[in-house]
Amino acid sequence: MTPQSQFHHYIPRFILKTFADNVTLATNTEFIAKDSTVFKATDPDVQSKNNSHRQQPDYYINLYRANDHSTVLSDIKRSYGLDDMYRDVTMDDCMKFEKLLAEMENASSTFIRSIWAGKDLALTRSQLSDMKKFLAIMMYRAEHRRSQYYDESFDMMTMLSIRKHMANKRIERVQDVWFDNLKWLIETPTKDIMEEYFKITETRDPMAILHEYNGPIHVVELMDFAHMASNYVCIWEAEEGSEFILSEGCFGAFEGHMGICFHNFFVVSPRYAIVLVNRHYMRGTMGMMGLRKSFFGEELHANPETIYKNGPLPTNFTESDFSQDDVFKYRRIIVPKRDVYKVNGIFLDARTKYLTYKSSVCMFKSLRYYDKVKETMFHTHYDYSILKRKLFADMNRTHSS
């Protein structure tokens, strides 16, 4: 029997929903949370019975399509995802990994809902590790990362290391390396992933690692995951009158220099973004690395307040002094409009297919800022004149009605 085709989202659906006009977080937070079905594999018969009792509302978002410069209202059920993401993977494997992802997403969404609702923000060390893992996996399974393997779009050195990894693991196709990496990341506890990473960093230089490593995952993805897991979490809140936008790469888009990520952005609503900040900023050592200054100032960084279960740390503390029940308390950092526009500028310059915005006014201001700075700050320099004209017309209609 031919497996039923599935649409897999690479931006969680409950986050997409916050960009719909018929959703206001202040009044609908609980409803949004309960309808978080990003990864849920539902039996069609069961789904039909459930739908007979209650009609789910539809949610449409503004979707700018770069290929023809058009803007449409798109149902979130078919937005920011792919049909049959796990092509050539057995149905049992597909269901297994979607279930594991659903468990991760459910735990992370609890924290994200607290961000939306204005509640106190706290994570145990264990919960923080799980959330970082979820964010890293969501970034890895995004379309632009997956397409790297399907299109074999790597530099020569990376491609050689992938071929070596394939030979070591007897993998026949480059495309299969993508899923093999994903499978290992999903199934393996973060502690074990980090132990695998420390094995290769203790005794080898970076170039040797690329050529010599022989392990369960392609070495570049192992290093990327470990770097993200080591970074600090900050919660950014857009200043009143500005909003974050979405693109197909906004869940994990980065700002950096010379291959070093300064910030990874994960937009979780028009108002909020979770930001992974390079640990060197938080330790005060980034200035020693000889890289350009970040677009964003130190005022947008904040170490969490930490409550150690076993009491204050000794002067010469070690990892054994930490507990998985240590608690990290976060605060929301208000991001000035200009910096919100910079974040959006990163998305605008890196997009390949889609953009989404909630407010026409905020999107127009982001585009205006991007046009002003793109020649000096960014690389691609896209032309959004058609979208700007549409937004301007929308604003005029709104003000005249």
Please tell me whether residues 266 and 222 are part of one structural domain. Answer: no
Residue 350 lies in a domain: yes
Q: Which of 201, 227, 253 is the last residue of a domain?
A: 227
Q: Are 133 and 286 in contact (CB under 8 A)?
A: no
Q: Which of 18, 13, 19, 10 is nearest to 356 (CA)?
A: 19
Please tell me whether residues 331 and 190 are part of one structural domain. Answer: no
Total number of domains in the chain: 3
**pLDDT per residue over 349-364, tens digit each?**
998 899 999 999 999 9
Q: Which of 197, 227, 257 is the last residue of a domain?
A: 227
Contacts of 15 (CB under 8 A, 6+ apart): 112, 267, 268, 269
Q: Which of 164, 185, 166 is nearest to 177 (CA)?
A: 166
pLDDT at 203: 60
Residue 174 lies in a domain: yes
Q: Which of 375, 372, 370 is nearest to 357 (CA)?
A: 370
Q: What is the mean pLDDT of the chain?
A: 88
pTM of the model: 0.89
Q: Distance between CA 101 and CA 386 in Å, rounded? A: 38
Domain that holds residue 334: 231-400
pLDDT at 87: 65
**pLDDT per residue over 362-385, tens digit each?**
999 999 999 999 999 999 999 999
**pLDDT per residue over 262-290, tens digit each?**
999 999 999 999 999 999 998 999 999 99
Please tell me whether residues 72 and 186 are part of one structural domain. Answer: no
Please tell me whether residues 260 and 391 are part of one structural domain. Answer: yes
